[in-house]
Amino acid sequence: MKTKATIIAIIPAVCMFVFSPGCDWGGGPDNETTTTTTSDLSTTTTTTVTVTPSERLQSTDFTYQGAFRLPEECNWGSRGMAYYETGNGGSGSLLVTGFDLNEPEFAELSIPQPSTASNWQDLPEAAVLTAMTNFDGGLVEQYSRQNENFDAEFAVVSGIAVVPRQGSQTSDKLYGTLDYWYGVVDDSHRTVWISDMDGSHARGLYHVGPEELPYHGNKCGDYLFSVPQSYANMYLGGRTLVTGKTRGAFNGSQGPTLFAFRPWDSEEPSGDLDAVPMLWYNIYYPECAGPNVGDPSQCDFPDFTMCDKWEGGAFIESGDKRSIVLLGIKGLGDNSYGAPSSSDACQDSQGYHCDPFERQVIFYDVDELGEVALGSRDAWGVVPYEIWRPAEFHLGDAAGHTCGEVGGIAVDSAGQRVFMIEKGFGGHTNENAAVVHVWGVE
């Protein structure tokens, strides 16, 4: 089993973007028509999709409402979070993943009235509505025993999503994803499973897309979220779930990824998930991010380091404004490798060090990502159009630097609320408690 020290050792570090919040990395597409032609020996079929660009959601569209604490069951976990619209008697609840060292589990939590108290211990605490419950049925351990290149000791639950029943299914489903954080072989691995809403009848594991590049387990599993059906129909062939990951080696991606896949529509599915890429970046090693020698200008993703870690993702819209956002931590120092250079380093083990750290929310243009899925833009040709460093996060010095981590994002579309997890309270090497921040979207 991993120890807390092991978890600390995998806290990522990343280089700072040199762009300011609100910066524009290039405009979205104008009104355009994308034409795809397919043919066989006897017929030719042309499909035309007319794209009306969305207005970009900005950080200035968010209004802070306050925060609340998660119960201690969520300490050293809270990587994944989903909004459950019909939970808590119809008033809505949050499903949050548990302790990293346990097998995949989640709890249903209430959503208290958020507070703007400056001391995190004075914040209201979410009530446990359903205790931590396993929802993989031992599938991850079973997969580990059957695959010599996969060790369950290095796998933690990192994504969770509620999906309404599809096709012939008789009930709604929970989807879970794995962060296999020590994927150091070129072989791929499966990252997705499903269960009933109470965590029972787990099925899987499933591979996102076929087991051939660009699809790979080192590109999936850190975050999981859904997109509106209308957007999925326009760009993604109806696929409504999205997962992704940052892993700068072993067929991963030197920058965050997004892969859309189709939810299962039967009770006993088998095979690979039907998927399409929306975002991934090439690996240039050691040119881009080799230890102590990498040059950030050689990376597709601006200033990528091997320490980058994005933990939460969401499709957020308000009126005509839309964006896909990712929440993560990013280091502001050099991409150095070896022992920590000082006792103040966030990681005390051998590895990459990029101190100091800050929390970032990066915004992606949904139409540019859609063009990738349609095949009219390179997957590595899309970069964030805005970087947001929320001042409302509690931990950090005057410059916002902290060793604290982040967790998942959840969206209450009907209530126009966005939830983001901040971790590290009580000490990132000690209690590592979590707080949920709440914003309204205008």
CATH of the domain at 265: 2.115.10
Among residues of the chain, what percentage have pLDDT more than 90?
Answer: 73
**What is the count of structural domains for the chain?**
1
Q: Does 37 reside within a domain?
A: no
Average pLDDT, the chain: 89
Categorize the per-residue pLDDT at 52 as very low, low, confident or very high, splitting at 50, 70 and 90. Answer: low
Closest alpha carbon to 298 in 259, 252, 248, 341: 248
| pLDDT for res 49 | 52
Residue with tokens 């000490």: 427
pLDDT at 162 exceeding the cut of 50? yes
Q: Does 67 reside within a domain?
A: yes
Q: Averaged over 306-328, what is the pLDDT?
A: 95
Enter the tokens of residue 110: 């209430």
Q: Does 28 reside within a domain?
A: no
Q: Does 189 reside within a domain?
A: yes
| pLDDT for res 51 | 55
- Predicted TM-score (pTM) of the model is 0.88
| pLDDT for res 341 | 83
Q: Does 281 reside within a domain?
A: yes
| pLDDT for res 348 | 86
Domain that holds residue 263: 4-11+61-441
pLDDT at 20 exceeding the cut of 50? no
| pLDDT for res 16 | 34
- Taking the CA atoms of residue 370, residue 61, residue 421 and residue 340 in that order, the dihedral angle to the nearest 10 degrees is 80
Listing from the earlier edge strand, what are the strands of the sheet with 417-425? 62-69, 433-441, 417-425, 406-412
Q: Does 35 reside within a domain?
A: no
pLDDT tens digits for range 67-115: 999 999 999 999 999 999 999 999 999 999 999 999 999 999 999 999 9
| pLDDT for res 356 | 86
